[in-house]
Every structure is written in structure tokens, then in C-alpha cells.
Structure 1
Amino acid sequence: PDINQVLIKIRRGRLFPTGIFKLLLGLKKINYVRVIALGVTQPYRKVGIEAFFYAEIIQKAMDKKIAGGEASWILENNEMMNKGLKNLNATIYKRYRIFEKVL
């Protein structure tokens, strides 16, 4: 779940004394998810496990009436992850890059 939907409504970011109640009550109203990390180890790549992961995530989201989601922190050159998301008709709205400089 994207807990930021709830945290943004808590004034000044303080959980105490009343913010904790807003957090606990707001958890039931979350309708958006963030998938921060999803990966398959090398020996199991390209055998369909990725598709199973995507299908399972989508099915669980639909069961919980989730309106949308975000697959975050995927590097621009991560072709396997980007290809899978492209096959799901996902929209790219951010690009993540790592730059390197010799010091």
C-alpha cells in the first residue's frame, strides 16, 4: 500500500498525540499501491516467473479494489523489468538513472 496517502494528511508529520489515530483509521482507505522492490534471481529469469509475479500482484490489487499503482525505482536501463511493465501497458512518468564520476 502507498501509506503516503495517509501520512500527507497528518499535520506537521507528528504521530502523537492524535496523528497515530489518523494513521490507523486511514490505512483502510488506501486505494493505491507502490511496488518498491520486485526481482527474480538469475537462475529463474526468463522462465515465466516474472509474469506470475505481475499477475499475482494485479489479482490481489483487484481483490482489494485498488485503483492504481506504481512500480518505483526501476532504472532506465533495466530492460527486463521495463519490458514486463510495457507489456502491461504501464505508463512511464519518471526516469531513474545512476550517474558515475571518477573522483
Structure 2
Amino acid sequence: MTPGVRYTCVALAKQLNSSPRQIKASLSQLVDAGTVRHVQEARIGIYWVPTHAEKRNFEEERMARRTLLRHTLEGYDADLRRLQSLCMLVRRS
């Protein structure tokens, strides 16, 4: 597979003279290993080997998401107690 080029399972099966089922099983293992990326578009799975730029962008986005999630939750317990009290108020006896 050429990095950056998108493939379907059927197209790869034709290129390799194999069945789509066998190719899909192999691609699933490569996706699990992180070698190949996969995205589902409608009912067709698209597979590709990411380029260096795609890998770098993915890592930057992942680090940005982690940075956003580093703050601590505040007021969560109070909101949960308030919701519990409200539920108890409207509860039928």
C-alpha cells in the first residue's frame, strides 16, 4: 500500500487476487496494530497507510485533546447531590 492512498477492501482484493473476506481480516489486524488507518464512509470501509504528515497531525490533535482534559472537575459532586435531591422530591411514595 502506498502511504496516503485510500483503498477499499474490494480494490485490494482484486489487486492481490484474493477474497475480500481474507483481505478484510488482514486489514483489521493492521488497523489494530496501528499500521493502517480505517474510516467508514457510508457502507464502504476506506483503508490507508498514513503519511508522515498525517501521523504528525494526528499526534498534534491527540496532544491538544489531552491538554484540554487535564483540568480537574469542580462542582461535580454538588451537582450530583442537587440532582439526587430533586429526584427524591418528585419521587412517589
Q: TM-score, normalised by structure 2?
A: 0.26
Q: Specify which structure has the higher proportion of helix.
A: 2
Q: Specify which structure has the higher proportion of strand.
A: 2
Q: TM-score, normalised by structure 1?
A: 0.24
Larger Rg: 2
